[in-house]
Structure 1
Amino acid sequence: MCTALMLASACAAGPQASEESPAQPTTLQETSAPATASAAAGGVMKSDNVEHVAHAPRTAPFTGPDNINTDLAFQGDYAFVGNFGGFSIYDISDPTKPQIVSQVSCPAQQNDVTIYDNLLILSIDEPTGGPECDAARNERSWEGLRIFDVSDKKSPKYVGAVQTECGSHTHTMVPNQDSLYVYVSSPGPEPDSETCPAPHELIQIVEVPLSSPQSAKIVAKPNIFPERQHSEFASGCHDITAYPEKNLAAAACFGDGVLLDISDPVNPKVLQQLTDRENFQIWHSATFNNDGTKVVFGDELGGGGQATCDRNTPSTKGANAVYDLVNGKLEKRGYFKIPREQQPNENCVAHNGSLIPVPGKDIMVQAWYQGGVSIWDFTDSANPKEIGYFERGPVQGEIIAGSWSAYYYNGYIYSSDITEGLDVLELNDPLTDPAKKVTMDDFNVQTQKSY
């Protein structure tokens, strides 16, 4: 996400090709969706295998221009939706009729959210006056993690916080017996900052004791970079995806992609560092396939504020790169970018997505801001293809809009739309229908589990 506090120079730079690779017009391919796209009322476009089954608009107190929706997490019959104004809890026992259970006002960037047992954790990547939700926002002395008890979904309770250097842009949970380890990803440093001093070539690991979450604290600050990063925009990591069952994590760290051994969760070890200055500007996120034999890294070219899904931006930029894990090393195989050209006023780039649990196949759903929601198959790593999509037309008068996160959970796709609210989609396709037999108890995209 492109904000004043994160990658301002990247956003201002726009979708420029690197010096090593002059920009060439991309070839926009036809979608492999099984039916012709159809347009519905309100400018919605979709493939015929996707149904828009519910829409829950933002409601007060999260209706202001700065109250944009962010990330999603799930547990049982509930969806947890982050927002710059706080977070909302939805009852999704009937996915076609999501109902708000509660909303907590707790302003901050970005309020990316995770859920574990009765604990909800928010990432705060904006200096403010203190850890509490009502802290003065005109002061700039604190940023990090906020922790809530959501055992009563109708009345969440703030239980504590942990200050971290350069805040927390996103975070990753690694459960370990009686503790929850949280990997904090954050950009930095920021000159003359009280909360983000130089240098910043590290991640931070917070231990949250499940029996006393109020005593959470930083227990490690491992430097996971064997060499200095190559991004001129920021240091640190953007997202880290852990796969605890495989003792692996994949870190998207602005200038690099990093494969980690997390068999000791407090002491992650670098297995491999990837750099691709020709095609990637901002290593944004990572997703393992179910077998742990592939990693998809996404590039957020322009920081989310630019129109990069057009014929003037190469198809390898602002896209996904698919890597196969061969003999313990990642090898690049192919790229995927949505094949539908967007308008010059539509910010569009690869953003948050997750696997669709189809046994024997590698299929993802992914948000592309105003490019909408894309479903794509990377079973053939070298030849990934889109098999379905959903998107709205251009949002008038908005610089940042569209789908922030799109995740599959228990038979449905949930999209957190920045300005429009929560969308629920149903995918009906013989290729993906086996996923409907898979039931998850909870889902946090940056902590993968096998199915």
Structure 2
Amino acid sequence: MRRWWLRPVLALTTVAATLVATGLPAAACGEDDKPAAQVKRTAGDPGAVKGVRAVGNLPDAQGAISANFLQYGRRDVMVVSGEFGLKVYDLTRNPAAPKAIGQLSLPGLWETEDTEVDAARKLVFLSRDPRAFDGNTHTGESGIYVVDLSRPESPQILSYVRVPAGHTTSCVDGCRYLWTGGPAKADDQPADWGGRPVWVTDVRDPRHPKVQPDPIELARNDGKTDYVHDVQVDAAGVAWVSGRGGVRGYWTSGLHRDPVQGRVRRATADAPVPYAGGGVAETAAPSRFLHNSFHPVGPAADGAWRGHDLVYATEENFVDGCAGDGVLTISSLAGSYGGEGWRSTPSAPFRLQTVGTWSVEGQEGSDPASDDCSAHYFDVRGHVLVQSFYAQGTRFLDVSDPTNPRQIAYYRPADASSWAPYWHDGYVYVADNARGVDILKLTV
């Protein structure tokens, strides 16, 4: 009997990435820009909805890019970041009609993708991309704003620190440290870099962040230092780093065997221990620009499907039309626990085994006239994965069989610019850069 991981998967054809932006002179996630005005939409397109009920919308959050949730006793609060800075909403009385209660105004801020919060200390970490405030990747300033949200009605900047990277900033080791990566390299950075790696910031004292001088997560793209896009930490504490060249996981605390050094050592945020991962096969993600990832943990999790450890990731990639645009990829981590992803070279490349892929192109509910179809952020609850696909809206997938992700519902307004969806207390909150925040209820 053929093993499941040897089943053929969809092979996609594409060209090099040109990534999307939405109105600011800054790219959404890559190095090239496609302003919103260039996004093709069908005149009179009514959009498409199936299996989803729209229960609310926050138009005052237009320019939204990311959202988070904080609890203050029985009080439930949503924090939305975007081109405006930070907006705070109370969900307690009616989660379908959040009440605006606070704002930190930073007009022109870019990009705040995957903004993260410290739930215990009520802190928000806003990443400043060098293209913010009319800057550019060549000479622009990047850094991190640490925002105090102990009083949600009154967000206050505790500190700001310059960092040599700034596209995304993520918590590791319980938000005691931050990892910041991307975008394209600055003029004063090494010429052979394809993009910015990760810089580590110590925020144990949030009023006085300390940036470590030397970057980490180098040589990630078959031996070349390249663009690190984002970091997601799984339930076991492994930090999964996505970017050009694939997805690699690291321990950031505790004693672990280092498969690259061949010895047991203590992991720290600035000297992490490799765990698993590597490049994704070109047949699944031809551009090899992996935008973000998710690694389920536990015997009952999707990641242990038939005993195999999986990592979900999105490729962000835009070409004319949708056929070559970025996809959701599902890969097996089998064969990557011995440091193989850290020894990959152009002459001896290592690639994870592809289990399945899913693309919005040609799917029910899609607008065939739009060329704004790349995969973007996603969130998982049980076997249902909800994912943003820019102008192609928000898609709900059944991933109980990872070899065959299956669309079960979709929400695509005619003016959609869906960037990131979030499951929260039975609702899905969608940060839509054009519409603000859509609040959805899955009905299937």
TM-score class, shorter: 0.7 to 0.9
User: What secondary structure does 1:370 align onto?
Assistant: coil
Distance 2:379 2:147 in 1: 25
| AA at the equivalent of 1:428 | T
The letter of the residue matching 2:244 is: F
CA distance in 2, matches of 1:73, 1:10: 26
Look up the equivalent residue of 2:168 and give its one-letter code: T
- Aligned partner of 1:334 in structure 2 is 356
Contact persistence 2:370–2:391 (CA under 8 A)? no
Deviation (angstroms), 1:128: 6.2
Task: State how far apart, in whole Å, the 1-side matches of 2:321 and 2:66 are.
Answer: 22
Deviates further, 275-284 or 413-422: 275-284
Please tell me whether the aligned partners of residues 122 and 150 of structure 2 are also in contact (alpha carbons under 8 angstroms): yes
TM-score by length of structure 1 reads 0.72
**Aligned match for 2:170, one of 169, 172, 179:** 172
Q: Is the 8 A contact 2:139 2:186 kept in 1?
A: no
For the residues of structure 2 that align with 1:56 and 1:318, how far apart are their CA atoms?
28
The change in CA–CA distance for 1:411 and 1:87 in structure 2 (over 3 A counts) is: same
Displacement after TM superposition at 1:353 (Å)? 1.0
The DSSP-based 3-state class of the residue aligned with 2:212 is: strand
Name the SS for the 2:333 alignment partner: strand
Give 5+ residue unaligned stretches, structure 1.
13-40, 130-135, 396-400, 430-451
Secondary structure of the residue that 2:385 maps to in structure 1? strand
For residue 354 of structure 1, the aligned residue among 379, 385, 391 is 379
Aligned to 1:419: 434
Q: Are residues 1:298 and 2:314 paired?
A: yes
The answer to whether 1:187 aligns with 2:203 is no
Deviation at 1:207, TM superposition (A): 1.2
Is 1:250 aligned with 2:240?
yes
Q: Give the Å deviation of 1:272.
A: 3.4
Query: For residue 10 of structure 2, what is the aligned residue in structure 1?
Result: none
Residue identity opposite 2:310 in structure 1: K
- Offset at 1:346? 4.8
Q: Once the 2 structures are TM-superposed, how far is the Cα of residue 115 of structure 1 from its aligned partner?
A: 1.5
Identity rate, percent: 21
2:146 counterpart residue number: 147
Q: Does 1:239 align with 2:247?
A: no
Kept in 1, the 8 Å contact 2:86–2:105? The answer is: yes
- In 1, are the aligned partners of 2:182 and 2:196 still within 8 Å (CA)? no
Match of 1:207 in 2: 202
- Cα distance change of structure 1 residues 188 and 42 upon mapping to structure 2, 3 Å threshold: closer
Partners of 1:5 and 1:190 in 2: how far apart? 14
CA apart distance, 1:255 = 3.1
1:335 CA drift (Å): 0.5
Tell me how far apart the structure 2 counterparts of residues 111 and 334 of structure 1 sit (CA, whole Å).
Answer: 30
| Structure 2 runs not aligned, ≥5 long | 1-18, 36-43, 254-266, 304-308, 338-351
Q: Offset at 1:227?
A: 5.4
Q: Please list, as runs of the form range in 1=range in 2, the aligned pairs for 1:400-439 lying within 5 A after superposition.
A: 402-429=417-444
Q: What's the offset of the Cα at 1:9?
A: 4.1
Summarize the Cα distance change of 1:54–1:307 in structure 2 as closer, same or farther, 3 Å threshold.
farther
Query: Equivalent of 1:45, from 48, 51, 58?
Result: 48
Q: Supply the AA of the counterpart residue of 2:359.
A: K
Q: CA separation in 2, counterparts of 1:146 and 1:296?
A: 29
Deviations 1:394-420 (CA, angstroms, capped at 9, x unpaired): x3xxxxx51111111111100011111
- Kindly report the root-mean-square deviation, in angstroms, between the aligned alpha carbons of the 2 structures: 3.0
1:39-438 equivalent positions in 2, closer than 5 A: 43-48=46-51, 50-58=52-60, 68-76=63-71, 77-93=76-92, 94-107=94-107, 108-112=109-113, 113-116=115-118, 117-126=121-130, 142-165=141-164, 167-176=165-174, 180-191=176-187, 198=191, 199=193, 202-209=197-204, 212-219=205-212, 221-226=214-219, 228=221, 235-243=226-234, 245-263=235-253, 264-266=267-269, 267-270=271-274, 271-278=276-283, 279-281=285-287, 282-291=289-298, 292=303, 293-302=309-318, 308-309=321-322, 313-314=323-324, 317-326=325-334, 329=337, 330-338=352-360, 339-340=363-364, 341-356=366-381, 358=382, 362-393=383-414, 395=415, 402-429=417-444
Match of 2:227, SS state, is: coil
Residue type matched to 1:2 in 2? V
Measure the CA separation in 1 of the matches of 2:238 and 2:321. Answer: 31
> Deviations along 1:63-86, whole A, 9 cap, x unmatched?
6xxxx2211111121111111121
* Secondary structure, aligned partner of 1:214: coil
Mapped to 1, the partners of 2:427 and 2:377 lie a distance apart of 16
2:20 equivalent in structure 1: 2
Mapped partners of 1:349, 1:275: distance in 2: 17
Matched position secondary structure for 1:110: coil
